[in-house]
A and B are shown apart, each in its own frame.
Chain A
Amino acid sequence: MTTAEWHALQDTFYRKHRLYQMQWAGLDLSKFRIAASSFAGPIALQRDDRLLLEAGSAPMLDSSIHVYSASGQTIGTIEYEGLHMAGFSWNAREELVCVQEDGNVRVFSLSGRDPVSFSLGPEARERGVAECCFWDQGLVAMTQDLRFIYVNDIGEPKPRMLADAQLTEPPHCWTVVPPHLTLSRHVEVLVATGVTVLCVDAAGVQDQLLDQGPYARISVSPNGRLAALCSLQGRIQVVSIDFQRSFSECTAPASSALADIAWCGSDAAVLSFGDEALLVGPFGDTLSFEFDAPVHLVQELDGVRMFTDDVHELLSKVGEDSKSVFQIGSTAPAALLYDAVDTMRAHSSRADEIVRSIRDDMPQAVDTCIAAAGAEPDVGVQQALLRAASLGKSFLTAYNGDKLVDMCRSLRVVNSLASYAVGIPATLVQFHSLPFEEWVERLLHRNLHQLALRICAYMDAPADQVYVHWACAKIRASTIDDDALYRVLRERLDTLPRPIASYVDIAEVANACGFQRLAIRLLMHEPRAASQVPLLISMGQDDAAMDAAMRSGDADLVYFVIFHLFKALSLGDFFQTIARTPAAARLFEKYCADMDAPVLEDYYFQDDAFAKSARLIVVENLHESDAVKLVANLKVALKMLHNDKASVLEARAIDQQIKLLQVQQQFSRDISNEEESYIGLTLNETLARTLASGNYSRATKLRTDFKVPERRFYYIKVHALVGRRDWAELARLAHARKSPIGYRPFVDECVAALQYQEAAKYVPKCDVQDRAALFMCIGFYHEAAQAAVQARDVDTLRQVHAAATDPTLQHDIAQQIEQLTSR
């Protein structure tokens, strides 16, 4: 009878289901420190070095950690030597995180190979770690002097201190609230000290001002909304996480001391007292379960697992679906449908009656049966329920069978995971709450390749990770040579319909195991350059690494290789190597230029890159204000440019610049005002300033010395003279000889300076066609009219007519227009 496992608590039921008879024969758990992983993971045992042992009584005296599956079968042993452990726990990836007293943390995978280790920092090392609290991603450690250090992500550890709670004596207990459960999204610690509880985070300490302590145990519910407090006197309280509201209270049986608390769902807590476990419901009612030996609790998403030396049981709330099928006296459609299967088996006509009576509720009945099957731990009952669903389905015309099929498939996998041999008793809820790949990963940790492969095939999932893991395992265990091994691997991997992803993972293992040739051959199959390159470098294959990086088109990877080469090779060798790949050489140049690295100079020098060297000098001296130094430096650059035939123009420009600087120095000597200094001006600016200061002869000399083209000189001079309002000199310039730039610029400059009288002087010297318009624009209408008549330009004449205000002029113009148009 299914309901035999049910225990009523007010109107809800809890199911206590026996998962396993533990397979570890004669193990006395009381001698061990225990860490059991959630998600039906493994159990780690280490002899408790604080307890005395009878000599010769126990088989496992060493300090190594023994790992068992949930069914009590040995998975492996992790060799552990060294200091006393302050705490250990499994993280979300089924890795065992061990914190030593000295603050060193070691993270072991299930295989026990190559642990990753890091330190909790100097504080932890000096003061020593007393206790630890873990969550699935990170941990908090309490030092001997009662400070808290936290690590948010064990994968990328950055140990930081929480605020100082100023504890003077060790707390009665403390617990961690993981970041994803707090309002601030940062880790918090609840510390029971005195009669109250402190909430400590990175920013500060908040006293919750409780007065019913001291508390022996605090536990935070899986959704982070509630906390269970257990006082030293045995009073159990469930309160909101801000400690403002109390939801239920009860008193524990005083038989023995409280050992542990775990939450069963988010509204009930399970407490263990030696051989007894006590379920405290949402309203303070309790259910008590007796065991033959001390019981240990493992909190799960949807229940609590309880194990002793002898048995392993799962306590969970009975869902509504199961209730509606199995609750005694239930008349729900699903219950009727379930009964119908039995009656039909008995060839009773009542089956038909029952089905008829369900009728419209049939889809719901089928759904409920399917859902109930998913919640049921017993395979027989699952089958019965699915059979009922299948029967019901056949009476429906339009029912999508996917749900039933999916449930059958999932249950089949879940049941095979739960077998004694595998020992992963995950519920369907747990199975669905992790991605499928993670379950496969868990099988691989246990070296169950065959099963993993079958499950992948059964679920239509890619089996890449299985093959990669298999290949790695094969390499690790191998005793044959590279080529033979390569053949073995390729034989298997080539049969796959699609090439597998990460060859690099396999190559990495091959390299680590000393099969370097194999590693290189395997790497050639890797499609991702980003993972290829670092490994090639670590194997000393610099050229291949550079090739792969260039092929990837990712400049960052090329930089990775460059930096490696720079570090590994002598400067000369490095220059030679990098010059072989011009694209990489340019990246190197860019980096050096941005870093202002002096090595660039050497690089250009050995490369005979004269023009580049010269350019580097010019850039370096951009802000050099000392003319003497500047000239000296530019001379060096000039010398280099002379070596380069392609840089004739550049050499000439720098040569002129040197001369210019020398001239500017000379000019600047006569000048007292620093602001008027010539140093750093361009040639044109120098000319303009010389002219602006009225030093015309000096300007003329500059012009000849620097071979300034005549046209340019005229433009600059006209502009400067108009700016100076030196009309006499301007007239002299205009009349000295025919202007090479014409006279239009004279007019334009004067107009821009609003000097219309002056402008008018030069208009007659301009082109006949332009004169009228120019006179127009400065308001000389008489002259404009004359010019227009001269040019026989009727259009302009009309414009003048429109613009002019003088009636006589208008009259004249009208006549002129008539004359011009009549002809």
Chain B
Amino acid sequence: MSASDSGTDVGERGPRLQQLKELLRSELIAILDTIRGAKALVLDRDVSAALSAVVDFAALKEHGVEKMFLLETGAGDAPVQGVVYLVQPNVRKLRLVAEQVRAGSGREHSVQLVPRRTLLGERVLEEAGVLGDVTLGELRLDAVPLDDDVVSLEQPGMFAALYLDGDFSGIQSVARALMRLQGLWGFFPRIVGKGDYAQMLAHSLERMRAELGTGSAGDALALSSAFDAVVVVDRAADVATPLLTQLTYEGLVSEVFGIVGGAVAGGDAKGARVAASGDDAVYRAIRDVGFADVGALLGAMTRQLQTSYESRHQARTVQEIRSFVGRLGGLQAEHQALKAHVAVAEAVLRRTQSDDFGALLDIEQTLVAGADLDPEQRAYVDRILALADTHAYVPGVDTERRDPPAPAAPNSLHKVLRILCLCALWRGPALKQKTYDAWYDEIVAAFGAHHTITLDNLARVGLLPPPSAARSQPGSAHANPRGFLRKALNLAVADDADDVAYAYAGYAPLSVRLLQVLTQDPAVHTPAASSRYAALLRPLADRLATQTQPAMPQSVGGVRGGWAGWEDVLAEVPGATVDIMQTPATDAADARAQRLGVKAPATLVVFLGGCTSAEIAALRRLSQQHGHRYVVATTQILNGNSFLDPLIQHK
């Protein structure tokens, strides 16, 4: 089976995420219909992207929505009888809602909490004295399919909420979302994961199943035959990956421009929308390509389009001309999309060719490879700190782009912090306390005294561990755990274009490597590792030894062995290790599934705290290589900037 064969094959088997979209849509419509007549929709910014992924404006209009507003502005004095709010049950947001409800008395107000109605939300409205004036409900917009292999769990900023604020309410929402997936496709036979909140989520899932099981309708659900397992990756287990510069096309667009709601932030030069979602055929073809190949690929596509256009000259008969004209509409649309992406890609390429980008990448690769910064690299860091720009545009965080991106990225706080955090994480105890203290002063001098809070936040969540703390990590057998992990999991892969490391040009994300451990992928099967589970997998090891070209063994794909044999590695990754078998109920359907022993065609990979486009690209590559679908469910799609932003004390 060739790679391309398995690619198409894989896409068609297993769960159809579109089902989820239909469900969400009908729930939304039902809520809209509870308020009669013309109404305004007031949207939380964090909900609007998910909403547009589920319905278009025409459908909303059909159900009486006259106008849409953002929560910051409110419905104002729009001539409508009813106002429907779709907001997250966040204290600040609900206080805003309460203010607007009080100002707009005489209207019918419906407040729909997304993704769930909470006591906290009720309490805030009650304190504000408007609980009696509104219809309070919930819209379960908690698992929104963005693509046929990506589900957004709609919990932006979750890493900061969990590790900075200790606010774990998002876990319950994610658990509910996963219960919904299990409702559609059956219970995941196995829950594996890494991280403290991964464990909390696993326990929540178990408990919810138990609660369901005791109810009358409980045992209607069988074990899933679509998913073989859910793998939960707590972002805290791998905080370094999102800080690195992503080097797939989509990743770079996100790093250079930012991607908002399935489109390039700010649009093209004229401000027109440039799609950045799987619905766009051109984008779909190039999004996961490594940045070195993007130029060539776009060139090839342009040439092919040209050929299609040229075919009109070969048209001789009326039929041929008619068939060409019939295709013209599609060609033009494709041409437009292609032109837009060529422009975006050119801007991205200009950036990648700049000295600044080169220096940044150089630093990242030095650190990942385990070396210390050389004087030139230190000078670069000193310079961007000294010439810091406190008002820089930050792609992925700012929603409105103000200027076309300069070839050299502005020296934003985010950029500086990404480098410093990477340094602290990879150097670990090797970082000098003196350097650390000097950086502290530099940041404050460059960006302001309130960033003492930012720096404290980063230290507390483990992104900027002071060297003293790095040295005294409990339970660690290694002076620099990350150095150990690099070797044990083969994280730095210099020259293998097939490895998932292509997404970061030579660095394999730890998160993906953990999945590869579970799927027994040869990439983590280094000589050191083969002794590790040789006993478990002797046949595989043998085959690897005899073959010069290690072919993908049949047994790869899907969660197989679990964590067994990797205890020493897992001990160095922060957080609890989870491996739970969900036992089948005594149900006949389960027994049948067990008997048949069919290999489920997909695995769900949940990222608590978000994942990057490059990580998704890496998982897509694994899907192709394994002939097995890895479906990503992430609380947010991140880049380094949006990952850090909630941890930053803004003015």
Contact = CB atoms under 8 A, between A and B. Distances in A.
A654 B165 contact: no
Interface string B82-120: 000000001110010000000000000000000000111
Contact of A552 (B120, B127, B207, B388): B207
A708 B91 contact: no
B280 interface: no
Interface string B537-560: 000000000000000000000000
B62 interface: no
A184 B36 contact: yes
A452 B123 CA distance: 41
Contacts of A512: none
B324 interface: no
Given A554-B172, A555-B167, A185 B33 contact: yes
B448 interface: yes
A715 interface: yes
B172 A563 contact: no
Given A501-B214, A560-B119, A619-B453, A587 B445 contact: no
Given A158-B135, A615-B453, A653-B452, A594 B90 contact: yes
Contact of A203 (B36, B119, B167, B445): B36
A560 B172 CA distance: 15
B452 A587 contact: no
B171 interface: yes
B36 A499 contact: no
B388 A556 contact: no
A653 B453 contact: no
A753 to B, nearest CB: 13
B165 A586 contact: yes
Nearest to B121: A556
Interface stretch (A65-73, A125-133, A397-405, A678-686): A678-686
B215 interface: yes
A556 B172 contact: yes
B147 interface: no
Interface in B20-65: 33, 36-37
B385 interface: yes
B50 to A, nearest CB: 21
A629 to B, nearest CB: 15
B216 A683 contact: no
Contacts of A462: 216
Interface string A538-573: 000000000000001111110110010000000000
Given A650-B456, A708-B445, A711-B382, A591 B387 contact: no
B449 A653 contact: yes
A240 interface: no
A618 B453 contact: yes
Interface in A491-529: 498-501, 527-529
B440 A684 contact: no
B390 A685 contact: yes
A462 B441 CA distance: 68
Given A185-B33, A619-B649, A654 B452 contact: yes
B203 interface: yes
Interface residues of B, number: 58
Interface string A443-471: 00000000000000000011011000000
A595 interface: yes
A590 B165 contact: yes
A422 B651 CA distance: 72
Nearest to B586: A498
Interface string B181-203: 00000000000000000001001
A549 to B, nearest CB: 11
Given A654-B449, A712-B445, A591 B166 contact: no
A465 B216 contact: yes
A563 B123 contact: yes
B650 to A, nearest CB: 8
B383 interface: yes
Interface string A705-721: 01011011001100100
B444 interface: yes
A479 B118 CA distance: 40
Contacts of B269: none
Interface in B605-620: none
B568 interface: no
B300 to A, nearest CB: 28
B473 interface: no
B167 A649 contact: no
Contacts of A528: 211
Nearest to B92: A594
Contacts of A184: 36
Interface in A787-813: none
Interface in A288-309: none
B87 to A, nearest CB: 14
A556 B91 contact: no
Contacts of A741: 379, 382-383
B216 A684 contact: no
B273 interface: no
A117 interface: no
B442 A527 contact: no
Nearest to B466: A649
Contacts of B533: none
A615 B204 CA distance: 34
Q: Which of B81, B441, B452 has the most CB of A within 10 A?
A: B452
A379 interface: no
Contact of A682 (B124, B214, B448): B448
A501 B218 CA distance: 10
Interface string B430-455: 00000001101110111111101101
A716 B411 CA distance: 13
Nearest to B123: A563
Nearest to B448: A682
A715 B387 contact: yes
B133 to A, nearest CB: 10
B91 A595 contact: yes
A116 interface: no
A623 B448 CA distance: 13
Contacts of B387: 715-716, 719
Interface in A706-738: 706, 708-709, 711-712, 715-716, 719
A586 B160 CA distance: 13
Nearest to A528: B211
B211 A745 contact: no
Given A553-B204, A715-B382, A527 B214 contact: yes
B210 interface: yes
Contacts of B534: none
Nearest to A657: B449
Nearest to B33: A185
B168 interface: yes
Q: Which of A552, A619, A650, A684 has the most CB of B within 10 A?
A: A684
A589 B166 CA distance: 9
Q: Which of B95, B120, B203 has the most CB of A within 10 A?
A: B120
Interface string B118-160: 1110011001000000010000000000000000000000000
A615 B456 contact: yes
A498 B586 CA distance: 12
Contacts of B92: 594
A619 B456 CA distance: 13
A1 interface: no
Given A464-B216, A527-B211, A649-B437, A556 B119 contact: yes
A656 interface: yes
9 pairs of A and B residues whose beta carbons are closest in the complex:
A586-B166, A555-B169, A594-B91, A715-B386, A657-B449, A683-B445, A501-B214, A712-B386, A556-B118
Given A554-B169, A555-B168, A712-B382, 9 more contacts: A464-B216, A557-B119, A587-B167, A618-B449, A623-B651, A649-B452, A650-B452, A652-B441, A706-B445
Interface of B: 33, 36-37, 81, 90-92, 95, 118-120, 123-124, 127, 135, 165-169, 171-172, 175, 200, 203-204, 207, 210-211, 214-216, 379, 382-383, 385-388, 390, 437-438, 440-442, 444-450, 452-453, 455-456, 649, 651
